[in-house]
Amino acid sequence: MNLKQTEFKKIQTKIYDYCGINLHEGKQALVRSRVMKRIRKLGLQNFSHYLNYLESDSSGEEFLALVDVLTTNKTSFFRESQHFKFIRDNVLPEINGRQVKWWSAGCSTGEEVVSSSIVIQENINPQSVKILGTDISRDVIKTAKRGVYQAKSVKGISPKLVSKYFRKVNDEQYQITESIRKMATYGRLNLKKKWPLNGPFQIIMCRNVMIYFNRETQQELVSRFRKMLEPGGYLFLGHSESIASADRKFENISPAVYRKK
């Protein structure tokens, strides 16, 4: 089943206009394979029929399903582990005893939120920290809220922490404990649209999300994050992401870790 260039352009434009994700030419094969899942599920014949269906769906449900299949949700527990060591050694001693608002933007299926919760509970009084996890994909937010993970994804965590913060459901699955669940709130959020959030936050983690945006959208996002952070608040990006060196409103204090001036 061929995806014509004009059809790819239509999908590319719709996704960019909605959420800022830049599906460049190199993503054409990915778009084709993922949209074909929707075409098969709906019993349609080709991409042209799918685009007609998309246009005629006044409920908007199919467009949200399209967003779900086209967003990338690769993640793991304690991904880019240097950040969690930095949090343990530098951030937690500063915020201990304070009422803290922590935001995981682009949280995917919740592994980053769970990892952060474990580090907090292992090192300070967790009662004063609330973590918000947001993502544009409805599917991953459902998974995060359930808090059930495949056994293979938990393998990288030390057995001591697994026994303390996970409950074995069966040979294939583990569920997070109530102490982890109580720390987190999850919700769907489009980073390009208005944010119905109340700051200021002390920590914002937006790791490996901005790589899907163009430079203009990245700069706009960084500016909005800065407004949501308290002075001295921390912004964590992915290790392949950075803030422009000309931006004097943040200080780069560790790899992919920035502090608001």
CA distance 234 to 253: 10
Query: The pTM is what?
Result: 0.91
CA distance 144 to 137: 11
Q: Is the pLDDT of residue 162 over 90?
A: yes
* Overall fold of domain 81-148+175-260: Rossmann fold (3.40.50)
Report the pLDDT value the prediction gives residue 248, as an integer from 0 to 100.
84
Q: Give me the phi and psi of 170, to 5 degrees please.
A: -160, -170
Domain boundaries, the chain: 5-70, 81-148+175-260
Question: Cβ of 257: how many Cβ atoms within 10 Å?
Answer: 19
Q: Is the pLDDT of residue 207 over 90?
A: yes
- pLDDT, tens only, 129-159: 999 999 999 999 999 999 999 999 999 899 9
Mean per-residue pLDDT, 64-86 = 93
Question: Position of tokens 């992915």?
Answer: 238
Q: Do domains 5-70 and 81-148+175-260 have the same CATH topology?
A: no
Average pLDDT of every residue of the chain: 95
**Of 26, 52, 23, 29, residue with least CA distance to 39:** 52
- pLDDT, tens only, 224-257: 999 999 999 999 999 999 998 767 899 999 999 9
Question: Position of tokens 């030419």?
Answer: 25
Radius of gyration of the chain (CA): 20
Give, in order, the Cα–Cα distances in Å from 98 to each of 34, 126, 231, 234, 258. Answer: 44, 10, 15, 15, 20
CA distance 53 to 66: 12
Report the pLDDT value the prediction gives residue 246, as an integer from 0 to 100.
67
Report the pLDDT value the prediction gives residue 93, as an integer from 0 to 100.
96
- Cis status of the peptide bond prior to 231, with omega within 30 of 0: no
CA distance 43 to 228: 44
Q: What is the CATH number of domain 5-70?
A: 1.10.155.10
CA distance 54 to 188: 21
- pLDDT, tens only, 94-120: 999 999 999 999 999 999 999 999 999
Tokens of 21: 């994700």
